[in-house]
Each structure stands twice: as structure tokens, then as C-alpha cells.
Chains A and B, each alone.
Chain A
Amino acid sequence: MRYLTEFHDPELARRLLDDIAATATRRWTLMEVCGGQTHSIIRHGLDQLLAEQVEFIHGPGCPVCVTPLEMIDRALAIAARPEVILCSFGDMLRVPGSASDLFTVRAHGGDVRVVYSPLDAVGLAEANPDRQVVFFAVGFETTAPAAAMAAVTARRRRLANFSMLVSHVLVPPAMRAVLGAPDNRVAAFLAAGHVCTVMGTAQYEPLVAAHQVPIVVTGFEPLDLLDGVRQAIGQLETGRAELVNAYPRAVRAEGNPAALAMLREVFTVCDRAWRGIGVIPSSGWRLAPDWADLDAQTRFDVAGLTVAESAHCHSGAVLQGRLRPPDCPAFGTRCTPRHPLGATMVSAEGACAAYYQYRRLTPAL
């Protein structure tokens, strides 16, 4: 496949690795923000190839992992109602709520459907006028444009039976929170390339200036990640802190203007509780006041939720880079992707799932 195989070329990977080894005079602590990048790093063993030069701290960029428990419980309560069809991305179905998950609700008769695109949920609302279709909108700046278009399409088609439970999260405020923590060890960031595809790169400039931290916008293939590391270490070794775009084939400085305009129209920024981390100011999107009629949170009153996090799961520490998944006592024993105790074991972007999938059988470094 074009733009995939080229960026997996072992000969070029060797060149990048040699360059990094020649530049690094010490071991640097880097955070890759996005869970997709975490998976790529673990899957291709980049952390092992770079063991002497880089300690990777895996960032909180796993959308289903950080969706607040209260929202999951709310979705479970809404999904259990007989008039409702609840739709979300496949990853959400196994995410444990306080007492259950969407799979279990479905097994008990709830109508829960997996959609590939939020527009599919709009289509379901059109096809089922006698049912209430709720789209559970989670994810970062990459999935929010799709949810925004679902809202616009539903209104354009005058669908009174469509609503959205919105729990979108934003990456830069989370990076600010990481940098502001008293025990922060992150020396440079590999910023999530696809978030910048939508949002552009300017939003990182204040972070670079305020914290003197290099931020390298990075792609997802092995060579992209190695190049991100190379450029971050190049800066660290020469005492520079700059914003660099190492993923120019997909990221323009201005982002995607059409998507940005739509996001501004449909959503407003709000404080958001991140599961396992806590409230991060101005780190989420909710529906803007003009779109309140589509808000499932007000359409379905689910008062009396009792929210309780599992006592055995340390996913909060994993999401904050304080615990490596294999060091969790439940990892691979009581907690597996089939029977996850925490959301980080569920999702394709969760750090616990990445280690389980690719490292379970090899001794941890």
C-alpha cells in the first residue's frame, strides 16, 4: 500500500536509528500523546530498539479510556430504555462502567449498535422513526468533525428522534496538565499527527513557549515515529525547544478549515472529567447552546446514577504515565481484553491492550 510500505522500510529505519544513536548523549524521556502511536511503538518494538536513548511515557490519548465513568454509566442507562437505539464506535462496547458494559446491556435486550460513521446513526434514525436513536459521541479532535456533521445532517433532515451524548476531549489541555504536574518528567512530546490534521499546529505554540518543551508533530508509521524521536532528541541535545511538523504529508499549519468551521458551529469548549485523571479545565467539547435540542443528556433523564470505579484497576496511573501496564498486578491475569477491568485494556488505543497484544509472551525490558 502506498504511504504505508514506504514508511515501514527497514533500511531507512536503520538510518534513522543510527542517526538517533549518534546524536543522543543520554536517555531522554519522551511522551507520545496518542494511543495509536503507543500501539505502533510497542507493536514494532521501537521502544526496545531505542532502549538506550528513549524512555517512552505513554500519553492519555486513548479516547475510550478517558471517557468519564459517569458518561459511560449514563450511556448504559439510556441504552437500557426500550424506545432507544444506542449507537457508538465498536471500542465502546466492552468499556466497563460502574456495574456493567454496553455488551451486557445488549445481552439483556438493549438495542446497542456499532457504527463506523456517525452518519450511519443518522441513517438509523431515518429508518426507525418510531425509535429514539442516540449516538454516543466520544473521541478526540479527529472524530469530533464526524459527530458535528451528524448533528447538522439530522437537523437538515428534520429528524426529531436523533440525539447525541457528547463526551469529546481535547488534546492540548491534557498536555498542559501533564506539563503542570509537580512530578512531570516529560522532556519532549511527539504530538498526535491526526489531531493536527484537523486543528493545525498553532495551538501548541503557547505550550512550547511557556514550558520550553520541544513538540514534534508526528505520524503513525514506524519511520514517522522514528523521525519524531530524531527531531525531538536533536532539539533536546542542542538545548532548543521548538514546534516542528514531522508529518507534513498530512498536516498543514492551518489544519482543515472546513472541519474547524463546523466544530466551532456545533460545539463549545467545556471543562471535562477524564477517567482516571480528573477534571481538566477547558478540555472537552459539548453541544453549543444552539444545538441543545439534540442533547441526549437532557432528553433522557437518568437521575440517580451511582458511579463507582473498580478498586483493582490502575488505569489512571497508566494514563498518566506513572505505571507501565505489565507492572499492574492484574495485567494478563485477572485483566485481559476479553475480561477487562479497565478501559485501557479494551481499546485498540489503550496502553494495557497494546502490551497484552504484543508483549505478553516476551519478558518486559
Chain B
Amino acid sequence: MCLGIPGRITEIWDDRGTRMALVDFGGATRTSCLAYLPGAAVGDYTIIHAGFALAVVDEEAAHRTLATFRELGLLDEMRRQLAAPREREARR
């Protein structure tokens, strides 16, 4: 019930004053209510709980997070590579 997963909005319509959307979860589609996301548009990824879209996934934030992960350990690797030739020299 609480497992909100991201899906893509493919269609938006009005049902008696309430904004509704068709959301695609990688093949499976669900009707969801957009009442809490007045700014959401077709193409946005959104997180759905109990049939309600509660947040639009911020693509930039997602890329920033992934970029941070990619950088983890890179500094150590660089240090190791820089240190390696010197160590070889020292052993000589």
C-alpha cells in the first residue's frame, strides 16, 4: 500500500472537476488522481500512492545523485594510480 513506484504519465483528463491521469509502470498502466500535483504534465515521472500522484520525479536531482555515486572511490583510485609509479621507484 505504501510502496510508491515511479511511473510515466501518458494521458491527462478531467473527471467532474478532478484531474486524472493514465500512468505507465513499464507496461502496466493505472488510472491515478493528479489533484495533488497541479503542475504535472504528460511525460513526467511520478510517484503514486493509493491511486494518487504525490510527487514528480526531479530528473536533475536523480542525475546529480547518480553522479555522486559514480564519483565515490574515484579519488582513491586516482591516488592509488598516482602512488603506483612512485612506489615502483621506491622499490627499485
Contact = CB atoms under 8 A, between A and B. Distances in A.
Partners in one complex: yes
Interface of A: 1-4, 6-7, 12, 15-16, 18-19, 22, 34-36, 39, 61, 63-64, 89-91, 116-120, 138-140, 142-143, 145-147, 149, 153, 156, 194, 197-198, 220, 223, 227, 246, 248-252, 256, 258-259, 262, 347-349
Contact of A197 (B47, B51, B70): B47
Contacts of B55: 197, 250-252, 256
Nearest to B38: A258
Given A1-B25, A18-B73, A145-B52, A197 B65 contact: no
Given A3-B45, A36-B3, 8 more contacts: A116-B51, A117-B33, A143-B49, A149-B52, A156-B17, A249-B58, A251-B55, A262-B35
A166 to B, nearest CB: 14
A348 B72 CA distance: 33
Contacts of B69: 12, 15-16, 223, 227
Interface in B16-59: 17-18, 25-26, 30, 32-33, 35-38, 45, 47, 49-52, 54-55, 57-59
A172 to B, nearest CB: 16
Query: Would you call the interface of chain A mostly helix, strand, loop, or mixed?
Result: helix
Q: Which of B32, B45, B51, B59 has the most CB of A within 10 A?
A: B51
Interface string B1-15: 111111010000000
Q: Which of B33, B69, B76 has the most CB of A within 10 A?
A: B69
A315 to B, nearest CB: 18
Nearest to B30: A116
A249 B49 contact: no
A39 B55 CA distance: 22
